Amino acid sequence: MRIDINADLGEGFGRYRCGDDDALLGIVTSANVACGLHAGDPEIMAHTYKVAKEHGVAIGAHAGFPDLWGFGRRVIPFSAGEIERLVAYQIGAAQALASYAGHRITHVNAHGTLGNLSETDKDVADAVARAIFAVDRNLAALTIARSEQVRAAERAGLRAFSQIYADRAYTGQGNLVPRSQPGAVIHDGEQAAARVVAMVDAGALITITGARLKTPIDSVCVHGDSPHAITMARTVRQKLEGAGVTVAPFGSS
């Protein structure tokens, strides 16, 4: 079995830094890099892509709402067409800076509120998928497992790879527990890693109710802005490899 470990990186802005991206790039196998709207800027993007290439880490565009103050986690009432163009804009920026750094964008992943909306809202999910296809139909969609994102990518003719979250809890219906609710975020690395191994072994999401919801699992996400991100990513990787799993970028052979 092959499983990717990804992290959301490049989420600083200007002189402000968010997390230890260089250290995480020595652990993960793919990175979703902020494209300048919810976080990130050309300097951070180019540096992150350069270091990712040095470590053999695959890179993707982490597209979010234009919301630096709210870190892309506030609902902004964009139309589906506006979302489509915002995502296309960010993919273009990612491709340009990746090329500048000598690397190549392989996938697109929706950040924050854009990700949450496209998890359950067909129109938003379709807008994101259409943007990816319009810019480069060879890009993959890194999707929340069992979500509208998966179905939208398939409708658009994109390759879809399903991810689970090491540090997020799931509702009984298989959706992410909102961050505003207790227990939504898992901070203990050992607990998160054991849960990931159990889900990979079962081929299913394990919910807060104990239900096991079948799903393909191609990638495991560890949020790079967490204070425990490095320890958690390292522990998840060690536990997966200890269980006989090959850790490698999704889509690689």
What confidence tens digit (pLDDT) does each residue in 180-238 have?
898 899 999 999 999 999 999 999 999 999 999 999 999 999 987 777 899 999 999 99
Q: What is the mean pLDDT of the chain?
A: 96
| Residue 182: Cβ within 10 Å count | 7
What pLDDT, on a 0 to 100 scale, did the predictor assign at position 146?
A: 96
What pLDDT, on a 0 to 100 scale, did the predictor assign at position 55?
A: 98
The one-letter amino acid code at 198 reads: A
Q: How far is CA 68 from CA 12, 34, 79, 135, in A?
A: 10, 11, 20, 24
What pLDDT, on a 0 to 100 scale, did the predictor assign at position 253?
A: 64
Q: How far is CA 196 from CA 169, 235, 248, in A?
A: 11, 10, 16
Distant-in-sequence, close-in-space partners of 164: CB < 8 Å, separation ≥ 6:
145, 196, 199, 205, 215, 217, 219, 220, 221
Summarize the confidence of residues 102-106 as an average pLDDT. Answer: 98
What pLDDT, on a 0 to 100 scale, did the predictor assign at position 96?
A: 98
CATH class of the 2-247 domain in this structure: alpha beta
Summarize the confidence of residues 20-37 as an average pLDDT. Answer: 97
What confidence tens digit (pLDDT) does each residue in 49-85 have?
999 999 999 999 999 999 999 999 999 999 999 999 9
Distant-in-sequence, close-in-space partners of 195: CB < 8 Å, separation ≥ 6:
166, 186, 206
Statement: residue 248 has pLDDT above 90: yes
In the chain, where the domains are located:
2-247
Vertex 252: Cα angle to 42 and 238 (nearest 5)? 85
